[in-house]
Homo-oligomer: A and B are copies of this chain.
Amino acid sequence: MTVKTIQVAQNALDANREIAVQNRAALDSAGVVAVNLMASPGAGKTSLIERTVAELKGQIRIGMINSDTSPAAMDAERAERAGAVAVHLNTTGRCHLDAGMIRDTIACLPLREIDLLFVENIGNLVCPAAWQLGTHLSVLIASTPEGDDKPYKYPRMYSGADALVINKIDLLPYVTFNLDYFRRGVEALNRGLRTFPLSCRSGEGLDRWLDWIAFLAARETAVLQ
């Protein structure tokens, strides 16, 4: 008789990956570019979406899946007021999104009316990194008051990102944040990572980010794979 080993975690990740592949196909078929937006709580995910939607209104049609661990839907409402097609996803306490949640949510979205979809993950610098959603790109937001040591402490999030936003640069005079030390930590994990230092509050540095988002939305999704 052979002892059977049950690999719950690995099986869950394998099942998740299969659904992520289906999500990608659904997004591609509708011509939607999807961005998985990850960060600590309060780093500025919603603020960045809100500013991006408002600035690119009339130019590209933006959708937003806003996730929270609670029924509080104020972030989705903010994005909607700015002009996005927004939906709130309550994970009821769960610490990250998975592909199944995204499958169920995109089924409720008018994908044909969306060029670019922001998937705002749960505010968490650990768990979201392990779960593919089927999005085309992962963008990580750091923020200056969090401190310059985060790449060293949460390496998996930094190594898996396709682009990095450094938000709240307007606070640099008031916080301890050594940009060189931070960048060295990032470079060691993810060489040449595309980086956007900016402030959602003051608007400084937003132009480059907006140009890149508009560029992404105009691409054929096949090019992004």
Q: How far is the CA of A123 from the CA of B94 in the complex (A)?
A: 16
**Quick check: is A126 within 8 A (CB to CB) of the other chain?**
yes
Q: Assess the B126–A125 pair: CB atoms within 8 A.
A: no
* A126 and B69 contact, CB distance less than 8 A: yes
Determine whether the beta carbon of B42 is less than 8 Å from that of A147: yes
* Beta-carbon contact of B155 and A70 below 8 Å: yes
Cβ of A127: which chain B residues have Cβ within 8 Å of it? 95, 124, 126-127
Asked if A115 CB lies within 8 Å of chain B CBs, one says no
List the B side residues contacting A201 at CB < 8 Å: 176
Residues in B with CB closer than 8 Å to A147 are 42
For window 1-20 of A, CB contacts with B under 8 Å fall at 8
Contact across chains for B42 and A146 when beta carbons are under 8 A apart: yes
Say whether A220 faces chain B, with CB atoms less than 8 Å apart.
no
Is A40's beta carbon under 8 Å from chain B?
yes
Q: Please indicate which of the listed interface residues A42, A94, A143 has the most CB atoms of chain B within 10 Å of its own CB.
A: A42
Q: Which residues of B contact A171 (CB under 8 A)?
A: 145, 171, 174-175
Copies of this polypeptide in the complex: 2
In Å, the complex CA distance between A150 and B69 comes to 11
Answer whether residue A149 sits at the interface, using C-beta atoms and an 8 A cutoff: yes
Shortest Cβ distance from A156 into B: residue:
B93
Contact A69 B156 (CB under 8 A): yes
B95–A150 contact, CB under 8 A?
no
Cβ-defined partner of A154 (8 Å) among B70, B143, B152, B168: B70
Given A124-B95, A145-B171, verify A42-B150 contact (CB < 8 Å): yes
Q: B170 touching A41 by the CB < 8 A rule?
A: no
Smallest CB-CB A-B distances: 5 pairs:
A42-B146, A145-B145, A95-B126, A72-B152, A40-B41
Contacts A/B (CB < 8 Å), 28 sampled: A8-B8, A40-B40, A40-B123, A41-B146, A41-B150, A42-B143, A42-B147, A69-B126, A69-B153, A69-B154, A69-B155, A70-B152, A70-B153, A70-B154, A72-B149, A72-B152, A72-B153, A74-B152, A93-B156, A94-B126, A95-B95, A95-B126, A95-B127, A123-B153, A124-B124, A124-B125, A124-B126, A174-B174
